[in-house]
Structure 1
Amino acid sequence: MIALKQLYQGFRDPETIHNLAKEIALHAAKHDGNIYIMEVCGGHTHTIMKYGLNQLLPDNIEFVHGPGCPVCVMPKERIDHAAILASQPDVILVTLGDMIRVPGSQGSLAEFRAKGCDIRPLYDPMDALTIAKDNPDKQVIFFAIGFETSTPMTAVLIEQAEKQGLENLLFHINHVLVPPAIDAVMADPQAKVNAFIGPAHVSVISGAKLYRPAVTQYGTPVVVSGFEPVDVMESILRIVKQKVEGVAELDVQYSRAVSEDGNLHAQQKVDQYLTIRPHFRWRGLGPLNESALMLRPEFAHRDAEVIYRDKLDVADIDDHKACQCGDILRGIAKPKDCKVFGRGCTPETPLGSCMVSSEGACNAYYRYNGV
């Protein structure tokens, strides 16, 4: 335990961080032009803001916050789906914590729970099995969210429901994929991204190979980074060196956990139960083809979207007009560009998902950088 603590203290060592900052500045001075680094994952955004890493970098390096927060990219109509399902007789809706507070067009799930709906936040998705066992006269619906990181857990949950014969456990699948989000960002004419910090946890499952097409297609360096401040600073240094050398390569800084191919067993488990969804609308990015997952047809008996299809005919719903969450998720605005940031929109009274989520950029700015 002491050795582990010392290891993580090393990943947050101020002297190491400052030495890396100096080396980044030396190399960045050799680069003609600005380096716009998108950290795709919200976990990296919070590390950057919490430790003030953005303040240690030279003027020609700028972070562009990406769409890598599964709660943030969930459009209002999908949240309305959850509220509609929770409002049905004899239904218990279960989902991960942050989703409870994201506003839909009719309010958040927390507000629906206050009205009497049985909505339960989960910290361990496997608890859905226990809830289904304890409530055999109820339909338990798991509102599943997340990028490639959390899809194996959902797949295992489906597998266990099948093995245990829990016919009352259903799924509303909202898992989304990283590569289409990168493609959408780069397709935006307002985008100025020319390097990426790749998500660490996603890469543990899917492998670093996930980002090779982006490196090839856009000529942008991608460095897969751990979440500690030393990880992020080392990843920035590797990006800057590539830019100075005029190359674009896939690099894995987080080699202590990420391999080229990823977790093949987890990938096989996901493929067994989930398949590509033809269309999915993202908050901020709009409709993206083949950018999300759904249950395979053979598991339609567990698909809440199939079983309750007559109840879930909800049109696309735009965000609050004053909220710039969509622009922030596309990397063309910063949280403080939004007129309601820290005023009408705070973690206690959020207008947009970027303020609700613990991985949201607005939440990170508010928590660590003030109004």
Structure 2
Amino acid sequence: MRYVEEFRDPAAAKGVLAAIARVADEIGATREKPLHIMEICGGHTHAIFRYGLDKLVHEGIEFIHGPGCPVCVLPMSRVDECVEIAERLGVIFCTFGDAMRVPGTRKSLLQAKAEGADIRMVYSPLDALELARRTPEREVVFFGLGFETTTPSTAFSIQAAAREGIANFSVFCNHITVPPPIKTLLDDPHMTLDGFVGPGHVSMVIGTHPYDFIAEDYGKPIVVAGFEPLDLLQSVLMVLEQIRDGRAEVENQYARVVPEHGNPISLAAIADVYETRPTFEWRGLGEIDASGLRIRPVYAGFDAEEKFGIGYVTARRVVEEPEGCACGAVMTGRMKPTECPHFGRGCTPDMPLGALMVSSEGACAAYWTYGGARAAQMEAAE
């Protein structure tokens, strides 16, 4: 299959791994003094562990897992608000499957569904819009969740609802943007990051220039990467070469998919439907200025926060993490999932404490799926 098989070629991978080792040695990276490279995207985290890249690269390279999973960074208060909307009489609440088992302070959406709330898993906001067309007597609410990757599809759905005059459709908007949390991490004096592997799917929409500040203001290299093993290995090599050469640039390894200036149709829809929120809460990072999107007043009839008087249109309550939950530390690279005392014990995919264990892009889920579960069980047995 084109653009897949050639990026999984073992011989080519060995060549790139040898080049990574050579450049890492030139830089002087060692196990005791590793280079910290953060992969921002949760999809990259899972690919790294699925293919064992963390074990194949030079011992002086350490991957730091960033806050690149939109389900994982969702604060518990927003889950509580989802449940509150879903439990209202006459509401059909539609969501992506990843969000169903994320725990709130009272319950998850899956638990609310088991108790009688009409909550349905969909694959697209267009599915929710079609449901609104078919059931005009019910209020259909779509849980708009995700980074810039999923933001356009929600915008297109709102535009379609406005054109058709569908009054029983609204979106609980939790769309967030990637660059602001990266700046927050770079401003953290306790973070030690030498470079970034940039998100591929997000960059398909926004292009590469929104990351210019990383190189220009902070002097850190970033390489936008694809999702196959050789994509990631080549991107790591490109980051290392920048460090060796004393450069800090935005480079695009994923040029076969990511255009420099993004997707103009998607960007136009985003600009039409959304505006930047003054602030938005991220799990593990707190409130980050200008990091979220909200629906513009012209589309207020499709804004579930306005329609139901919930969320940022009211006085919001701060919800503390469950005692001992280390999701925030894991998402900001301060801790590996297996260092969390609850990993594989009090927090498993069947009984999660936090979103990182249940999201398909969560770091804890990656560790559990690709080896961490066995290690945790062995440690628990001891």
Q: TM-score, normalised by structure 1?
A: 0.97
- Give me the whole-angstrom Cα distance separating, in 2, the residues matched to 1:125 and 1:91: 16
1:49 matches 2:49: yes
Matches within 5 A, 1:256-295: 256-295=256-295
Aligned residue in 1 for 2:27: 31
Q: Cα–Cα, structure 1 residues 305 and 6, in superposed 2: closer, same or farther, change >3 Å?
A: closer
Matches within 5 A, 1:145-184: 145-184=145-184
- Give me the whole-angstrom Cα distance separating, in 2, the residues matched to 1:15 and 1:367: 26
Query: How far 1:189 sits from its partner (Å)?
Result: 2.1
1:216 matches 2:216: yes
Aligned residue in 1 for 2:236: 236
* Seq. identity, %: 43
Aligned residue in 2 for 1:358: 360
Post-superposition CA distance 1:282-303 (Å, at most 9, x none)? 0011000100000001111111
Post-superposition CA distance 1:320-361 (Å, at most 9, x none)? 112100001111111011001011111111111111100000
1:344 matches 2:340: no
Between 6-15 and 114-123, the greater mean CA deviation after superposition? 6-15
In the alignment, residue 138 of structure 1 is paired with which amino acid? Answer: R
Q: Cα–Cα, structure 1 residues 144 and 27, in superposed 2: closer, same or farther, change >3 Å?
A: same
Q: Partner of 1:281: helix, strand, or coil?
A: strand
Q: Looking at secondary structure, tell me which structure has more strand per residue.
A: 1
In the alignment, residue 361 of structure 1 is paired with which amino acid? Answer: A
1:135 matches 2:131: no
Q: Partner of 1:291: helix, strand, or coil?
A: coil
- Give me the whole-angstrom Cα distance separating, in 2, the residues matched to 1:65 and 1:47: 12
- Give me the whole-angstrom Cα distance separating, in 1, the residues matched to 2:74 and 2:120: 19
Aligned residue in 2 for 1:12: 8
Query: How far 1:6 sits from its partner (Å)?
Result: 5.3
Post-superposition CA distance 1:197-220 (Å, at most 9, x none)? 000011110001111011111110
Q: Cα–Cα, structure 1 residues 64 and 31, in superposed 2: closer, same or farther, change >3 Å?
A: same
Matches within 5 A, 1:84-163: 84-163=84-163
In the alignment, residue 348 of structure 2 is paired with which amino acid? Answer: T
In the alignment, residue 299 of structure 1 is paired with which amino acid? Answer: Y
Query: How far 1:310 sits from its partner (Å)?
Result: 5.9
What 5-or-longer segments of structure 1 have no aligned partner? none
- Give me the whole-angstrom Cα distance separating, in 2, the residues matched to 1:369 and 1:197: 23
- Give me the whole-angstrom Cα distance separating, in 1, the residues matched to 2:93 and 2:154: 15
Is the CA contact 1:185–1:331 (under 8 Å) kept in the aligned structure 2? Answer: no
- Give me the whole-angstrom Cα distance separating, in 2, the residues matched to 1:288 and 1:336: 27
Between 237-246 and 305-314, the greater mean CA deviation after superposition? 305-314
Matches within 5 A, 1:167-206: 167-206=167-206
- Give me the whole-angstrom Cα distance separating, in 1, the residues matched to 2:21 and 2:144: 42
- Give me the whole-angstrom Cα distance separating, in 2, the residues matched to 1:246 and 1:348: 47
Query: How far 1:314 sits from its partner (Å)?
Result: 4.3
- Give me the whole-angstrom Cα distance separating, in 1, the residues matched to 2:215 and 2:335: 24
Is the CA contact 1:93–1:141 (under 8 Å) kept in the aligned structure 2? Answer: yes
Post-superposition CA distance 1:169-214 (Å, at most 9, x none)? 0111000111101011112222111100000011110001111011
Is the CA contact 1:284–1:329 (under 8 Å) kept in the aligned structure 2? Answer: yes
Is the CA contact 1:81–1:314 (under 8 Å) kept in the aligned structure 2? Answer: no
Q: Cα–Cα, structure 1 residues 313 and 86, in superposed 2: closer, same or farther, change >3 Å?
A: farther
Out of 368, 371, 380, the position equivalent to 1:369 is 371
Superposition CA RMSD, Å: 1.2
Is the CA contact 2:147–2:177 (under 8 Å) kept in the aligned structure 1? Answer: yes
Q: Partner of 1:29: helix, strand, or coil?
A: helix
Query: How far 1:125 sits from its partner (Å)?
Result: 2.1
Runs of 4+ in 1 over 3 A off after TM superposition: 310-314
- Give me the whole-angstrom Cα distance separating, in 1, the residues matched to 2:185 and 2:2: 38
- Give the paired residue count: 367
In the alignment, residue 360 of structure 1 is paired with which amino acid? Answer: G
Is the CA contact 1:323–1:351 (under 8 Å) kept in the aligned structure 2? Answer: yes
Between 78-87 and 10-19, the greater mean CA deviation after superposition? 10-19
Q: Partner of 1:214: helix, strand, or coil?
A: helix
Query: How far 1:273 sits from its partner (Å)?
Result: 0.6
- Give me the whole-angstrom Cα distance separating, in 1, the residues matched to 2:255 and 2:25: 28
In the alignment, residue 340 of structure 1 is paired with which amino acid? Answer: H
Is the CA contact 2:224–2:235 (under 8 Å) kept in the aligned structure 1? Answer: yes
Query: How far 1:61 sits from its partner (Å)?
Result: 0.9
Q: Partner of 2:4: helix, strand, or coil?
A: helix
Aligned residue in 2 for 1:307: 307
What 5-or-longer segments of structure 2 have no aligned partner? 377-382
